[in-house]
Amino acid sequence: MNDRLGPGPHPISLAVRRDCRAGELAGPTADLAPGYIQGNLAILPERLAAQFESFCRLNPKPCPIVGVSRVGDPFIPELGFDLDVRTDLPRYRVWRNGELVDEPTDILDYWRKDLVAFVIGCSFSFEEALIADGLRIRHIEQRCNVPMYRTNIDCAVAGPFAGPMVVTMRPFKAMDAIRAIQITSRFPAVHGAPIHFGDPSRIGIKTLDQPDFGDPVRIEDGEVPVFWACGVTPQAVILASRPEFAITHAPGAMLVTDRRNTELAIL
Amino acid sequence: MNDRLGPGPHPISLAVRRDCRAGELAGPTADLAPGYIQGNLAILPERLAAQFESFCRLNPKPCPIVGVSRVGDPFIPELGFDLDVRTDLPRYRVWRNGELVDEPTDILDYWRKDLVAFVIGCSFSFEEALIADGLRIRHIEQRCNVPMYRTNIDCAVAGPFAGPMVVTMRPFKAMDAIRAIQITSRFPAVHGAPIHFGDPSRIGIKTLDQPDFGDPVRIEDGEVPVFWACGVTPQAVILASRPEFAITHAPGAMLVTDRRNTELAIL
């Protein structure tokens, strides 16, 4: 077993993947296996993989890679024991030429010898640290999805991969926003510090009421919207490039790994 | 020589103190001895010193103590070679019952066997780190004093020492403000992270155009005011308590120590 996985077995995170594999979990993973890194999944043909990896490297805030498979190999041992990306997520989306063609609960029938799986960090990891510090996260309080917005900030281009940065928004009072900036700065591997706060129009967002993805949330008196780079960015960029073939996780149905969120903190 | 002073002599900072002692420097110290910690000075009778030290301990953001003398001893060896608080600052203010009675260039004639000198951290230390990161500081660009404001945030009380927190304000664009929060968080010993940004009325500031101390600065399009706890707070609190006797540095005429700003950074 890989020593990056830390001491001992990880029965909690493994149980989530086993439930997925058995077809007993097909929905969101948000509250499952607290403490363990969850990741966005993006699977591409080898032909596009190198350029996509370049894209992620050039845009580390929205696209922090936490793991990559070998070509054609659906197992990523450095992320988890017996972790098989074909079966161990609750639900997938299969895309052909940028069009959604299927939403299966496994991709055994879609797997190919030329595919490469990328696992990209997710804000769940830093939200756990925010909550541990006593900060209140509005979309969690409202039991809805985090609001996400396309910005006018262009990502750096790599081959066919180009497009605007997508951001998540969480409202905070200024003093809590300062604390949230400090805390998320400790997590450069999962989006890190915010990229903006305050006036949404400064980053090309017309209205906060109509997010491009997710749900709108209430902004209370004295709060300012705070914006973080979002792992939906690489997915949006992949689909905009209309690749011949791609597979992603279904929204909210993430890959639960055996690695711990605390491992991502730099101090 | 004290090993906290780091290796070797410190001719640059010592030269500033020697100029003060010789009466050749009686003005601001802002650009002198870059890299070395400068401090606010507050001298009180022993009778009040313990309560003042408690006040600083209870209010570490506005009142970060970097050094304290022994009772009646004007030398603070842990802050600098042959450092004599009676002569080594450019100019002083002498107060009786809260009234300014003198602004001498040394306090040899005012020194008493019952006095205790406190040296309190100053934002010069973190401004150096902000500038090193490429951030532009408006009051430095405008060659004026930083604007300071009384807030509606009450300090914790210790004996006769009570009053509102005083803050400095520096305007930044949101992305630079995020960077400034990260950088100043590294300097908890010199005010640390901001205590607020955005709407000044949230901390009881009516207008930014009329600071309580220092000079107003320009706020440009897209900038937000960012507020840090200020070392003027302890001085304002001392004077409001109308102590029988007190001595402070004259505004801008700080104590230059042999210790380095980088030493205050936590990482």
Place of tokens 């497009």: A163
State the ipTM, two decimals: 0.79
Nearest Cα neighbor of B23 from B111, B105, B86 is B105
> Would an 8 Å CB–CB cutoff place B182 in contact with chain A?
yes
Q: Does B194 touch chain A (CB under 8 A)?
A: yes
- Burial class for A99, CB neighbours closer than 10 Å (0-12, 13-18, 19+): exposed
CA distance B51 to chain A (A): 28
Q: Does A153 touch chain B (CB under 8 A)?
A: no
SS (H, E, C) B3-66: HHHCCCCCHHHHHHHHHHHCCCCCCCCCCCCCCEEEEEEEEEEHHHHHHHHHHHHHCCCCCCEE
Q: Could you give the CA distance from residue B123 to residue B131 in angstroms, rounded to a whole number?
A: 12
* pLDDT tens for each residue of A103-132: 999 999 999 999 999 999 999 889 999 999
Is residue B184 a contact partner of residue B193, using CB atoms and an 8 Å limit?
A: yes
More confident residue, A262 or B103: B103
When pLDDT is cut at 50, 70 and 90, the band that residue A1 belongs to is very low
Q: Give the number of A-B residue pairs with CB atoms closer than 8 Å.
A: 46
Give A52-83 pLDDT, tens digit per residue. Answer: 999 999 999 999 999 999 999 999 999 999 99
Task: Compute CA distances A220 → A138, A201, A224, B223, B232, whole Å.
Answer: 10, 19, 8, 22, 33
Residues 6+ apart with CB under 8 A from A121: A37, A39, A40, A64, A65, A66, A189, A190, A191, A231, A264
Specify the pLDDT at position B1: 42
Q: What was the pLDDT predicted at A223? A: 97
Q: Which residues of B112-142 are buried (b: 16+ CB within 10 A; e: fewer)?
A: eeebbbbbbbbbbbbbbbbeeeebebbbbee
pTM: 0.85
Out of A178, A202, A222, the one facing B181 most closely (by C-beta) is: A178
- B193 CB near a chain A CB, below 8 Å? yes
The answer, yes or no, to whether residue A3 has pLDDT greater than 60, is no
User: Does the pLDDT of residue A33 top 70, yes or no?
Assistant: yes
pLDDT at B5: 65
Say if A174 is an interface residue toward chain B (CB within 8 Å). yes
- A175: nearest CB among B177, B196, B267: B196
- Asked whether residue B149 carries a pLDDT value surpassing 60, the answer given is yes
| Phi, psi (rounded to 5 degrees) for B84 | -115, 110
B53-58 long-range Cβ contacts below 8 angstroms, 24+ apart = B53/B118, B54/B158, B54/B159, B54/B161, B55/B155, B55/B156, B55/B157, B55/B158, B55/B159, B55/B161, B55/B234, B55/B237, B56/B118, B56/B120, B56/B234, B58/B155, B58/B156, B58/B157, B58/B158
Q: In what order do the strands lie in the sheet with A148-154?
A: A148-154, A164-173, A223-229, A196-197
Phi, psi of B70 (to 5 degrees): -75, 160
Most A-contacting residue of B185, B197, B203, B205 (CB-CB within 10 A), to test interface? B197
**Average per-residue pLDDT in chain B?**
93
Q: What is the DSSP track for B69-121?
A: PPTT--B-TTTSTT-BTTTSSS-EEEEETTEEEE--S--TTT--TTEEEEEEE
Which residues, 6+ apart, have CB-to-CB distance to A55 below 8 Å? A63, A155, A156, A157, A158, A159, A161, A234, A237
Please state, in angstroms and as integers, the Cα–Cα distance from residue B212 to each residue in B23, B149, B207, following that order: 30, 5, 10
How many residues does this entry show for chain B? 267
d(CA A196, CA A200): 8
Reduced to 3 states, what is the DSSP secondary structure of residue A153? strand
Identify the pLDDT of residue A262: 85
